[in-house]
Amino acid sequence: MRLATLLNLAFRSLLNRRVTGALTLMAVALSVALFTGVEKVRQGARASFERTVSGADLIVGARSGPINLLLYSIFRVGDATANMTWRSYEEIASDPRVAWTIPLSLGDAHKGYRVVGTDENLFEHYRFGEDQTLTFASGEPFRDLFDVVLGAEVARNLGYRIGDDIVLSHGLGEVSFADHDNKPFKVVGILEATGTPIDRSLNVSLPAIEAIHVGWETGAKTPLATIMTADRVRSLDLKPDELTAMIVGLKSRGTVLKMQRDLNTYREEPLLAVIPGIALSQLWETVGIAERLLSAVSACVIAVGLVVILVSILTTLNERRREMAILRSVGAAPGDIFFLLVLEAAVIAFLGALLGLLVLYAGLMGLAPLIQARAGVSLVGLGPGVFDLVVLVTLMGLASFMAMFPAWRAFRNALADGLTVRV
Amino acid sequence: MIDLSLLRFPGFAMVSSGSSSVLLLEEVTFAWRANEVILHIPYFEIGKGERIFLRGPSGSGKSTLLSLISGVLTPQSGKIQLLGTNMTGARASERDALRARELGVIFQMFNLVPYLSVLENVALPCRFSAARGLRAKQSGGSIEGEAGRLLARLGLGEAHLRGRKATDLSVGQQQRVAAARALIGGPGLILADEPTSALDTDARGVFIELLSEECAARGSSLLFVSHDLSLATHFDRTVDLCAINAAFSHAQA
């Protein structure tokens, strides 16, 4: 009963100080929103990266850096510096240790979304999240030369349906200056959302990539490209010469290190094979310093929020001596006065944190599509979780701890004042 | 936490001590600083239901005396007994519990917790003492009911006043709310420290009459402190603090 009484008093006294109370709450809310937001996005980025490659044993591409290879092949961040040959691809694919391979040929775009040349293995063997395969929201895999399968986000954001015709662009700009406009593609399939970069890609067959680049061998459009219409180009041999990278699945995990070494010392051309998990942890090491710095800064903001709570209580202490004397007169012990102020801090921390989390989730809901589009980070699984609860409880604990200082002063005043305030 | 105050009803305490005194002070001395005794009361007693006018000019140590009686301060020596319980021997927590249960205090002004409503202010002592809450319930059906009844008795019956914030009331109304708070749950003793000094002369008489009636109705004793002797006619007995305070007379002599 005593606790309920004091809690009610703490809450009501806070309500009474509307302006300063609101400002304090706002400061706490913002600090919590910032701190939790940074942590969420950090964890979200990691989770989203980690769920993108599941079940792949090796990523193979032309020799560059492991992180670089992982970033451009799987996460579609940055560009490949060189390609690998189709001959190497075929050789690796036929290695007895290899169970399956997925070829990836990047370089073209459609309205800012990447076009990926691949084959049916993508739909059969690609794994993401907890060993999930790609599934079709509608339609089916590409079969014809000019068929395209859209990622969920591409279809949603550009409003495409099965049967629509689309024109791909050369290069990766959002605004294209060179279109493959005489070779339109037909949408035959739309994938379910995966929370991976697949959602933002247009998947076509490898021959299709060759087909739209007939006449573009120099890197720019030649008259040949215009002459070779969609119908004419079908008669050509469209076997690719090179590709950007490949994903390799092995029959047995035990052979992965040996296989990696064999590929890294490949005789025909300089190749690089990386184990996705290891490359990812290298990536985290690289960005770790910046991450920690960001965390430290947001933790400092939390500290500022706590100081604001402390100040808000300290400044009212003197003008509340009369109130404390009244409470003493109706039976409150000095310990009750102490506890009342600690409770006030805890209530401010609780409400502030709650408000902060609300602001954060409202903000995340609003910003998630933008972050996904701009940074390629899908904020999947960023709903309220245990972490928020930990933040809330910790903040309440810290605020209560710090409030012991003003509470102690009020306790001493209560003992010295008696029933009359001796200022 | 078990509220031990439930076990110690006033009647029980009084029977066991075999005394009808509500308050008893014997050889009580108090000094804020060592060797500066400002209060030395050889003997002072208030009987059950007695209404006493304590005349005390400012500086006579009356605020200190009220703090001592309420157990907020402890004397350097002597005995203070409230309803049979020896306060000087009790622990601080016991004194706090006893104050919550058996004392009603009315200050000169600023009596109310500013952020609580009128009704909540009146009910406040019942939140700090279960025994007092119980007595209020027995008398009024519920704590809020009893608070409302007391407010009505003191001329604050309008329903719209009860939800008001205490600070929205006039000074006279605030003092009456404070009186209702002191009276709720029928405490053994009501301490009133110059409660009428902020009121005009007409209101003073009315206020004291209402307070006296309610004290009588629930058997509470009343210790009314004021420097205004013209009010003394409302009380059973008048005591001059200067006369019972040995320390004061020494200083004057």
User: DSSP state, B167?
Assistant: G
Domain count, chain B: 1
Is B179 in contact with B207 (CB distance < 8 Å)? yes
Query: Distance between CA B253 and CA A175 in Å, rounded?
Result: 103
Integer angstrom CA distances of residue B100 from A93, A328, B133, B179: 86, 9, 10, 15
d(CA A298, CA A303) in angstroms, rounded, equals: 9
A23 to chain B, closest Cα gap in Å? 18
Q: Does B174 touch chain A (CB under 8 A)?
A: no
- Taking 3-state DSSP, the helix, strand and coil percentages for chain A, each rounded to the nearest 5, stand at 55, 15, 30
Taking an 8 Å cut-off on Cβ atoms, the answer to whether B125 and A330 are in contact is: yes
Q: Are residues A17 and A161 in the same domain?
A: no
Residues of chain B with C-beta less than 8 angstroms from the C-beta of A325: 107
**pLDDT of res. A30:** 93
What 3-state DSSP class applies to B166? Answer: helix
pLDDT of residue A378: 60
Could you say which residues from 313 to 342 on chain A have a Cβ atom under 8 Å away from some Cβ of chain B?
322-323, 325-336
With contacts defined as CB-CB under 8 Å, which chain A residues touch B107? Answer: 325-326, 329, 419-420
In a domain, A280, yes or no: no
Residue B74 in contact with partner chain A when CB distance is under 8 A: no
**A395 and A335 share one domain:** yes
Final residue of a domain: which of A248, A274, A300? A274
Q: Are A25 and A87 found together in one domain?
A: no
What digits encode the pLDDT tens for the residues B52-102? 999 887 777 888 888 888 888 888 888 998 888 888 888 888 888 888 889
Residue given tokens 């903000």 in the structure block:
A363
Best mutation target, B62, B96, B184, to test chain A (most A CBs within 10 A):
B96
Q: Is there a single domain that holds both residue A314 and residue A219?
A: no
- Taking the C-alpha atoms of residue B79 and residue B71, their distance in angstroms, rounded to an integer, is 12
Residue B210 has pLDDT above 90, yes or no: no
Residue A238 has a pLDDT of: 80
**Which 179-198 residues of chain B touch chain A by CB within 8 A?**
181, 193
Q: How far apart are CA A11 and CA B115, in angstroms?
A: 10
Please tell me whether residues A262 and A293 are part of one structural domain.
Answer: no
Residue of B nearest to A416 (CA): B73
Angle at A170 (CA atoms; ends A169, A175), nearest 5 degrees: 55
pLDDT at site A353: 94
What is the domain extent for residue B130?
A: 4-252
Write down the number of H helices and E strands in chain B: 11, 9
Q: What is the mean pLDDT of residues B227-233?
A: 85
Parallel, antiparallel or unpaired: strands A201-205 and A113-118: parallel
Gap between the Cα atoms of A298 and A109, Å rounded: 37
Q: What is the pLDDT of residue A423?
A: 45
Q: What pLDDT was estimated at residue B227? A: 84
Percentage of chain B exceeding pLDDT 70: 90
Task: Walk across the sheet containing B85-86 and list its strands.
Answer: B37-47, B21-31, B77-82, B85-86
On whether both A96 and A172 belong to a single domain, the answer is: yes
Q: Is residue A422 part of a domain?
A: no
Q: A357 and A261, same structural domain?
A: no
Nearest CA in chain A to B114: A323
Show which of A219, A250, A274 is a domain's final residue: A274
Q: Tell me, what's the pLDDT at B253?
A: 39
Structure tokens that stand for A162 in this block = 């099965």
**Residue whose tokens read 């933008």:** A370
Looking at the structure, do residues A243 and A339 belong to the same domain, yes or no? no
Q: Residue B2 — pLDDT band, cuts 50, 70, 90?
A: very low
What type of residue sits at position A323? E
Question: What's chain A's Rg over C-alpha atoms?
Answer: 31
Which pLDDT does position B51 carry in this prediction?
Answer: 92
Query: Do A190 and A138 contact (CB within 8 A), yes or no?
Result: yes
Residues 6+ apart with CB under 8 A from A240: A86, A105, A117, A206, A207, A209, A210
| pLDDT score at A170 | 75
**What is the layout of strands, in order, in the sheet containing B51-55?**
B103-106, B189-193, B221-226, B51-55, B237-240
pLDDT of A145-171, one tens digit each?
Answer: 889 999 988 998 889 999 998 888 776
The pTM (predicted TM-score) of the whole model is 0.74
What one-letter code names the amino acid at A90?
A: E
* Residue A67 contacts residue A279 (beta carbons within 8 Å): yes
Rounded-to-integer distance, Cα A138 and Cα A162, Å: 8
Residues of A in contact with B103 (CB under 8 A): 329, 331
Number of folded domains in chain A?
2
pLDDT value of position B89: 82
Instruction: Check CB contact under 8 Å for B67 and A331.
Output: no
- Partner B contacted by A309 (CB < 8 A): no
Residue B140 maps to which CATH number?
Answer: 3.40.50.300
The residue among A84 and B8 whose pLDDT is bigger is A84
Residues A264 and A355 in one domain: no
Do A211 and A134 belong to one domain? Answer: yes
A269 in any annotated domain: yes
Report d(CA B52, CA B40) in Å as an integer. 19
Which residues span the domain enclosing A112? Answer: 58-274
Least Cα distance to B247 among B66, B80, B65 occurs for: B65
CB atoms B129 and A1 under 8 Å: no
- Residues of chain A with Cβ-Cβ distance to B129 below 8 Å are 331
Contact A166, A184 (CB under 8 A): yes
Q: Which two tokens stand for residue A239?
A: 């076997």
Instruction: Flag residues of chain A having pLDDT under 70.
Output: 1, 171-178, 371-382, 421-423
Report the amino acid identity of residue A377: V
Which residues, in sequence order, are bridge partners of residue B237?
B52
Do the chains contact at B112 and A332, CB–CB below 8 Å? Answer: no
Same domain, A44 and A78: no
Please check whether residues A73 and A165 belong to one and the same domain. Answer: yes
A409 to chain B nearest CA, in Å? 17
Measured between beta carbons, which residues in chain A are less than 8 angstroms from residue B116?
9, 12
